[in-house]
């Protein structure tokens, strides 16, 4: 640990806070349909889209219509992306200069499910399997649509919590258009230009070929990377253009690009908490969610940095200098603090980008990203999914508080009944089922065991991480697993779809149930949800729910590995 | 070629099928 390490972490957190508050206020304007500073330029484009699609922007949707609209567009996008990947070998030369062949059926299924659900789990290596056309017209398009869909879903849920007696939760098509036009696209254009200035390639030229000093031939992968890199981070997508993701110097060449990537991957999710406060007309409620997200994420960074900074005791015993921490699997230009910070940010959100190999982290440091993913991606979570996820936790927290004091629970003035609590529990149990059942089945299956690079508790962590990452729509890989086998291509693909829609639909049903209810004025018996007590309660519910469900699996994985390692055994 | 077509059919039906099940799931959530 060093002063500079802590300073780098503190500066990044400060920048996130600085960006999130104004961005949250701006997003609330987008949600309400108010004009924003870009309306004079992009307003005609927005209205043109509605006319083209035959959408009446003034027409609201009930929660079921909202869900069906989202499912409909998801089916269409799944089919389009699947077809594109299967037929990329027919692309014209300028869209496929390296002459990539068609992707296999099962890998296309996995990739289509992955990018549809904002997961971006990659069982392929981008520079060896993906044509430029597929990257630009398939993956990058989904990198815009999937976060926009997530934010739209969060807007719909927020409207239900914050508005008196409503049956319509906005218009899905309007939300999707406004988020893409006024939020994602302008920021991505600016980020792309900065990335290009920092040295990230943006070219349609074929891969470069070089002769090394030893006389060997080397192929250097290029492509339209900068634009995809920007939306990859901003939309908490995380799928790299290149296989080693943000560890590659063409995706993340300098400390400056690393800082921009780290800040951009959490900013919208944090800003959505602030946006929620604006949308419901009570900014304190939004700030409470922001603080809970920040505290859990901050503690995660501290724990992981402490665990990494002491280095590997087995290597220290062999005479390796531990002053730089555990540098296995890390880039020299980032060092331990920026690698840890990036990894924890990418798993506290549902981003899944990596600038170091999590498989090489110390066991207890590796536990942190795994645990953050398993908490349900709410610290601050994916764009949109983080907000509606933590609102699900709020329902459970208020139910627990109601049990303790013997009163009917209510949140933001809306009475919570058995239906809302059942739906919230159901949403979280689906995630638990996907992670634990998938991991258990894969670990008693010869194909699953054969995909692991390591034995013992480390192998268990690798499999647990894969199913956690897929089900919670994170997308980062622990590494050490060969995912392109039928079991994992299809199994993880189904887990991603279940994790995305199986979680969001019950939360939307809660919105549908709460929306028409009367919003009661606070009374002497109302549990205040804008103070420290509620923050502690909500944090406790998030940690205990995560801990209770996954502690046995974590004990068999990273925790056991830590003690076995101290005894001198590695895997 | 035939095996390839079967794999495509399986993958597409699986993907659309899971999303279709989500529509049924929506109706079930409404009735809880």
pLDDT at position B1 is: 60
A410-411 and A414-415 as β-strands: parallel, antiparallel, unpaired? antiparallel
Mean pLDDT of A105-121: 94
How many alpha carbons lie under 13 Å from residue A54 in its C-beta half-sphere? Answer: 0
For residues A319-348, one letter each, b for 16 or more C-beta atoms within 10 angstroms of the residue's C-beta and e for the rest, the string is eeeeeebbbeebbeebbbbbbbbbbbbbbb
Q: In this complex, do B7 and A67 lie within 8 Å of one another by their Cβ atoms?
A: no
Is the predicted pLDDT of residue A450 greater than 80, yes or no? yes
Mind telling me how many Å the CA of B32 is from chain A's nearest CA? 6
Q: Tell me if the pTM is above 0.80.
A: yes
Q: Are A353 and A265 within 8 A, CB to CB?
A: yes
Cα dihedral A521, A522, A524, A525, rounded to 10, equals 100
Ranges A398-412, A452-466, A548-562: which has the least confidence: A398-412
Residue A161 pLDDT grade (very low, low, confident, very high; cuts 50, 70, 90):
confident
Per-domain residue ranges of chain A: 3-208+219-281, 284-542+552-566
Is the predicted pLDDT of residue A131 greater than 70, yes or no? yes
Q: In this complex, do B29 and A423 lie within 8 Å of one another by their Cβ atoms?
A: yes
* pLDDT tens-digit map of A337-387: 999 999 999 999 988 899 999 999 999 999 999 999 999 889 999 899 999
* pLDDT tens-digit map of A264-291: 999 999 999 999 999 999 999 999 999 9
Mind telling me how many Å the CA of A128 is from chain B's nearest CA? 21
Q: How far apart are the first and last CA of chain B?
A: 46
Mean pLDDT of A487-501: 95
| In chain A, % of residues over pLDDT 90 | 79
Q: In this complex, do A494 and B14 lie within 8 Å of one another by their Cβ atoms?
A: yes
- Biggest CA–CA distance in chain B, Å, is 46
Q: What is the DSSP letter of A179?
A: I
pLDDT at position B2 is: 65
Selected residue of B19, B20, B24 to mutate for chain A interface (largest A Cβ count, 10 A): B19
Mean pLDDT of A516-521: 87
Say which of A106, A493, A505 has its CB closest to residue B25: A505
Is the predicted pLDDT of residue A499 greater than 90, yes or no? yes
A208-211 and A217-220 as β-strands: parallel, antiparallel, unpaired? antiparallel
Mean pLDDT of A191-203: 95
* pLDDT tens-digit map of B1-32: 666 788 889 999 999 999 999 999 999 999 98
Residue A261 pLDDT grade (very low, low, confident, very high; cuts 50, 70, 90):
very high
User: What's the CA angle centered on A194, arms A190 and A195, to 5 degrees?
Assistant: 115
Q: In this complex, do A509 and B12 lie within 8 Å of one another by their Cβ atoms?
A: no
Shortest CA distance from A513: residue in chain B: B30
Please report residues of B whose CB lies closer than 8 A to that of A86. 8
Say which of B8, B15, B30 has its CB closest to residue A78: B15
Q: In this complex, do B16 and A509 lie within 8 Å of one another by their Cβ atoms?
A: no
Output the DSSP codes for A68-135.
HHHHHHHHHHHHHHHHHHHTGGGS-GGG-TT---PPPHHHHHHHHHHHHTT----SS-HHHH--HHII
* pLDDT tens-digit map of A382-419: 899 999 999 999 999 999 998 888 888 888 889 999 99
In terms of C-beta density within 10 A (0-12 exposed, 13-18 middle, 19 or more buried), how is residue A303 classed? middle
pLDDT at position A376 is: 87
Residue A144 pLDDT grade (very low, low, confident, very high; cuts 50, 70, 90):
very high
Residue A99 — left, alpha, or beta (φ > 0 → left; ψ -120 to 50 → alpha)?
left
Is the predicted pLDDT of residue A35 greater than 70, yes or no? yes
């Amino acid at each position: 640990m060093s002063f500079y390490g802590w300073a780098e972490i503190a500066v990044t957190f400060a920048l996130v806070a600085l960006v999130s508050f104004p961005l949250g206020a701006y997003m609330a304007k987008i949600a309400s349909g108010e004009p924003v500073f870009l309306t004079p330029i992009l307003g005609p484009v927005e209205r043109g889209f509605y006319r083209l699609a035959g959408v009446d922007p003034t027409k609201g949707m009930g929660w079921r219509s909202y869900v069906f609209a989202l499912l409909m567009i998801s089916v269409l996008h799944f089919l389009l992306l699947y077809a594109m990947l299967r037929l990329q070998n027919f692309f014209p030369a300028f869209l496929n200069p390296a002459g990539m062949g068609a992707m296999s059926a099962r890998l296309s299924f996995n990739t289509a499910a992955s990018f549809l659900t904002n997961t971006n789990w990659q069982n392929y290596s981008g520079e060896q399997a993906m044509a430029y056309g597929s990257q630009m017209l398939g993956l990058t398009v989904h990198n815009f649509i999937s976060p926009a869909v997530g934010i739209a879903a969060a807007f719909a849920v927020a409207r239900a919590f914050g508005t008196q007696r409503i049956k319509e939760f906005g218009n899905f098509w309007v939300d999707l258009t406004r988020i893409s036009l006024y939020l994602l696209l302008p920021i991505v254009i600016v980020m792309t230009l900065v990335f290009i200035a920092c040295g990230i390639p943006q070219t349609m030229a074929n891969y470069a070929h070089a002769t090394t000093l030893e006389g060997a031939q080397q192929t250097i992968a290029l492509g339209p990377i900068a634009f995809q890199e920007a939306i990859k981070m901003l939309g908490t997508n995380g799928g790299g253009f290149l296989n080693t993701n943000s560890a590659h110097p063409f995706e993340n060449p300098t400390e400056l690009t690393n800082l921009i990537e780290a800040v951009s991957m959490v900013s919208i999710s944090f800003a959505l908490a602030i946006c929620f406060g604006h949308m419901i007309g009570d900014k304190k409620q939004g700030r409470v969610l922001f603080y809970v997200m920040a505290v859990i994420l901050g503690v995660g960074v501290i724990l992981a940095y402490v665990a990494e900074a002491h280095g590997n005791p087995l290597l220290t015993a062999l005479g390796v200098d531990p002053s730089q921490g555990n540098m296995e699997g890390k880039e020299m230009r980032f060092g331990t603090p920026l690698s840890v910070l990036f990894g924890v940010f990418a798993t506290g959100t549902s981003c899944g980008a990596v600038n170091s190999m999590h498989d090489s982290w110390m066991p207890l440091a590796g536990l942190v990203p795994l645990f953050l993913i398993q908490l349900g991606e709410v610290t601050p979570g994916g764009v949109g999914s983080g907000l509606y996820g933590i609102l699900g936790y709020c329902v459970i927290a208020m139910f627990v508080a109601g049990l303790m004091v013997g009163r009917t629970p209510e949140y933001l003035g809306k009475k919570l009944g058995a239906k809302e609590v059942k739906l919230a529990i159901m949403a979280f149990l689906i995630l638990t089922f996907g992670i634990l059942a998938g991991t258990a089945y894969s670990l008693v299956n010869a194909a699953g065991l054969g995909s692991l690079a390591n034995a013992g508790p480390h192998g268990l962590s690798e499999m647990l991480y894969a199913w956690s990452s897929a089900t919670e729509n994170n997308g980062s890989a622990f590494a050490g697993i060969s995912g392109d086998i039928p079991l994992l291509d299809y199994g993880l693909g189904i887990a991603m779809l279940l994790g995305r829609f199986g979680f969001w639909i019950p939360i939307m049903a809660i919105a549908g149930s709460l929306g028409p209810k009367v919003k009661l004025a606070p009374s002497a018996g109302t549990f205040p949800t804008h103070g420290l007590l509620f923050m502690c309660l909500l944090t406790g519910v998030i940690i205990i729910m995560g801990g209770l469900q996954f502690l046995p699996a974590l004990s068999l994985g990273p925790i056991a590995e830590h003690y076995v390692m101290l005894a001198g055994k590695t895997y | 070629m035939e095996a390839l077509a079967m794999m495509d059919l399986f993958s597409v039906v699986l993907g659309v099928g899971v999303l279709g099940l989500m529509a049924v799931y929506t109706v079930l959530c409404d009735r809880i």
